[in-house]
């Protein structure tokens, strides 16, 4: 009899514990997938894995250059941030000449039309022994336009207009009145100046927009040839003068 009572008791106890178990909410520790849902933690894990995999692949594909597939905003480049914090640099031509790679502790600078750019990222080209080392440590705007890398390593653009002045047929020129010739020359000078401006801004923009170079400041005290002083145009540039026909065609193409 007492045995039966004991069994009933234990059944009651077991029953109540079962029913309490059945009413219990599922434990928060139970895996979410078991309920078919995805938690925020799961999403974060997946995203983190994708980001890490993408960075790793980018690092491998870009030969250890970038974790972001070549995207390098300026604020992730320490020298650019340092220059930004220090403000723009102002150098005289003599000071600028120190930044030509001779002193390995100094950065490599080139200057175009008075604007200095840091090109230290490319020592193979601008450093000692590099093909374009002669551009480092100076403002050689003239050589950027003429391509005369020996004679024109100066900022002075005096007389470079001649490089873009059209070569006329002498017979055709002789047929013009002096007024017509004067007018034509004025037009030619305007055209030549616009071509120089275009060449200079091409190189300035090349350095300014280059993903590995950056602007650092200005050169001050660049002297220009005096009024009336004519600097000879180098031979290679003289040989590049366009014919009248080429200029007419170029102007027509520009208007189209």
Q: Which residues bind ligand HEM (CB under 6 A)?
A: 122, 125, 131-132, 144, 147
Q: Cβ distance 116 to 110 under 8 Å?
A: yes
Rounded to a whole number of angstroms, the minimum distance from the CB of residue 163 to ligand HEM is: 10
The count of other CB atoms within 10 Å of the CB of residue 38 is: 10
Pairing of strands 109-112, 214-219: unpaired
Minimal distance in Å, beta carbon 210 to ligand HEM?
A: 7
Q: How far is the CB of 130 from ligand HEM (least distance, A)?
A: 7
Please say which residue, 55 or 236, places its beta carbon nearer to ligand HEM: 236
Nearer to ligand HEM, 152 or 188 (CB): 152
CB of 230 to ligand HEM, least distance (A): 21
Nearer to ligand HEM, 162 or 168 (CB): 162
Indicate the residue among 181 and 241 with the shorter CB distance to ligand HEM: 241
SS3 28: coil
In the complex with ligand HEM, the residue whose CB is nearer, 117 or 166, is 117
Residue 207: CA atoms inside 13 Å, Cβ hemisphere, count?
29
- From residue 121, give the alpha-carbon distance in Å to each of 79, 95, 218, 247: 11, 20, 19, 38
Q: Which of 138, 158, 137 is nearest to 146 (CA)?
A: 158
Which one, 135 or 217, has the nearer CB to ligand HEM?
Answer: 135
- Rounded least distance, CB 118 to ligand HEM, Å: 12
In the bound complex, what is the minimum distance in angstroms from residue 225's beta carbon to ligand HEM?
Answer: 21
The C-alpha atoms of residue 136 and residue 123 are separated, in whole angstroms, by 10
What is the strand order of the sheet 214-219 is part of? 89-91, 214-219, 115-118, 109-112
């Amino acid at each position: 009899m007492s045995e039966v009572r004991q069994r009933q008791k234990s059944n009651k106890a077991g029953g109540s514990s079962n029913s309490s178990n059945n009413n219990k909410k599922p434990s928060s520790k139970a895996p979410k997938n078991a309920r078919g849902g995805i938690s925020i933690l799961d999403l974060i894990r997946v995203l983190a894995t994708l980001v890490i995999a993408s960075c790793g692949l980018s690092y491998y594909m870009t030969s250890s250059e970038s974790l972001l597939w070549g995207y390098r905003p300026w604020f992730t480049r320490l020298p650019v941030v340092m220059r930004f914090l220090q403000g723009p640099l102002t150098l005289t031509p003599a000071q600028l000449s120190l930044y030509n790679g001779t002193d390995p502790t100094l950065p490599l600078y080139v200057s175009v039309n008075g604007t200095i750019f840091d090109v230290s990222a490319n020592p193979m080209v601008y450093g000692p022994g590099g093909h374009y080392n002669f551009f480092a440590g100076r403002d050689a705007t003239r050589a950027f336009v003429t391509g005369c890398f020996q004679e024109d390593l100066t900022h002075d653009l005096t007389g470079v207009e001649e490089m873009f002045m059209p070569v006329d047929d002498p017979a055709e020129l002789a047929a013009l009145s002096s007024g017509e010739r004067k007018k034509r020359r004025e037009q030619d000078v305007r055209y030549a100046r616009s071509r120089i401006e275009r060449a200079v801004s091409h190189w300035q923009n090349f350095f300014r927009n280059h993903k590995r170079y950056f602007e650092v400041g200005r050169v001050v005290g660049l002297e220009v040839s005096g009024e009336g002083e004519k600097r000879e145009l180098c031979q290679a540039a003289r040989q590049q003068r366009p014919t009248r026909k080429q200029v007419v065609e170029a102007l027509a193409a520009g208007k189209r």
